[in-house]
């Protein structure tokens, strides 16, 4: 049975507790498809005040995470950097390469991950050079720490470990609408606040439903996220206008 071991290094281990007990991630942990251990970085601090940060050389606002506790934590969990290392070490950082579904699939294929959560203005550059294999960002916005990004990684990989979702083969990008946005979804009642569920979805014609969904996915992706379509997305989608929020109409 495929499984994944994740070690998290953080100053706020308690943030992970309800997250790891709940929903898809909680189930994945419960059935042993993914094993997560959360470590308090202060356990690797050297002084009785358990100091993990210091002022930046060159001046400037805020604090920087000291190298000694971080490198010791990472090496304790993954071994020294290099080919014999037992885990792939990821630092969550706005300076990282942007995480996408293909990136999650690469991470989910590993046996062991160490996720390092930075706080303050970031980490001493020597930590990155000596101990980190890869820097990843979850998006171009600024958070206060790497904990929420680490949870995004854990949730994203958990649903890719085989057997975690109800779906046996693929929860990921090889599903039929690979790389497209999902079109609109409906459930009962058939009329709500005067808005009706499209007739085709209630027709029982599975081929027509599949065709309608594929078309709506293409339209939505072309309008809202043309970057996901690459060059193929520059040709026109021939269709009647669709109603929506209108926020992306132009």
Site of interaction with ligand 4GX (CB under 6 A): 91-95, 118-119, 122-123, 137-139, 141-143, 145-146, 149
CA distance 105 to 127: 26
Q: How far is the CB of 177 from ligand 4GX (least distance, A)?
A: 26
Nearer to ligand 4GX by C-beta: 148 or 197?
148
Q: Which residues contact 101 (CB under 8 A, 6 or more apart)?
A: 156, 172, 173, 179
Q: How far is the CB of 56 from ligand 4GX (least distance, A)?
A: 12
Cβ atoms of 55 and 66 closer than 8 Å: no
Residues in the chain: 250
Q: How far is the CB of 24 from ligand 4GX (least distance, A)?
A: 21
Question: In this structure, what is the dihedral angle of CA atoms 189, 193, 194, 199, given to the nearest 10 degrees?
Answer: -30
Q: Which residue is nearest to ligand 4GX (CB)?
A: 118
Nearer to ligand 4GX by C-beta: 42 or 215?
42
Q: How far is the CB of 157 from ligand 4GX (least distance, A)?
A: 15
Nearer to ligand 4GX by C-beta: 9 or 123?
123
Nearer to ligand 4GX by C-beta: 108 or 123?
123
Q: According to DSSP H, which parts of 79-185 are helical?
A: 101-108, 125-131, 147-158
Q: How far is the CB of 119 from ligand 4GX (least distance, A)?
A: 6
Three-class SS of residue 185?
A: coil
Q: How far is the CB of 238 from ligand 4GX (least distance, A)?
A: 38
Nearer to ligand 4GX by C-beta: 1 or 142?
142
Burial 83-98 (b: 16+ CB within 10 A, else e): eebebbbbbbbbebee
Count CB atoms within 10 A of the CB of residue 38.
Answer: 21
Nearer to ligand 4GX by C-beta: 26 or 94?
94
Burial 142-163 (b: 16+ CB within 10 A, else e): eeebbbebbbbbbebbbbbbee
Nearer to ligand 4GX by C-beta: 94 or 184?
94
Cis ω on the peptide bond leading into residue 189 (within 30° of 0)?
Answer: yes
Q: How far is the CB of 91 from ligand 4GX (least distance, A)?
A: 6
Count CB atoms within 10 A of the CB of residue 218.
Answer: 19
């Amino acid at each position: 049975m495929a499984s994944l071991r994740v070690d998290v290094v953080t100053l706020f281990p308690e943030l992970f507790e309800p997250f790891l007990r709940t929903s898809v991630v909680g189930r994945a942990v419960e059935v042993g498809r993914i094993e997560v251990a959360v470590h308090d970085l202060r356990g690797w601090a050297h002084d009785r005040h358990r100091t993990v940060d210091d002022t930046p050389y060159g001046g400037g606002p805020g604090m920087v995470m000291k190298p000694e506790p971080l490198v010791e934590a990472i090496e304790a969990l993954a071994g020294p950097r290099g080919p014999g290392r037992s885990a792939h070490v990821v630092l969550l950082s706005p300076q990282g390469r942007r995480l996408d579904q293909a990136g999650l699939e690469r991470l989910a294929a590993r046996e062991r991950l160490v996720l390092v959560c930075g706080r303050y203005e970031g980490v001493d550059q020597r930590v990155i050079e000596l101990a980190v294999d890869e820097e990843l960002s979850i998006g171009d916005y600024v958070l206060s720490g790497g904990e929420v990004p680490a949870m995004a990684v854990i949730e994203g990989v958990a649903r890719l470990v085989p057997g975690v979702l109800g779906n046996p083969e693929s929860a990921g990008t090889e599903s039929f609408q690979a790389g497209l946005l999902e079109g609109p979804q409906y459930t009962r009642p058939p009329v709500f606040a005067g808005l009706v569920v499209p007739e085709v979805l209630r027709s029982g014609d599975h081929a027509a439903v599949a065709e309608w969904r594929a078309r709506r996915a293409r339209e939505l992706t072309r309008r809202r996220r043309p970057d996901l379509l690459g060059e193929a997305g520059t040709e026109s989608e021939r269709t009647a206008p669709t109603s929506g929020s209108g926020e992306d109409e132009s």
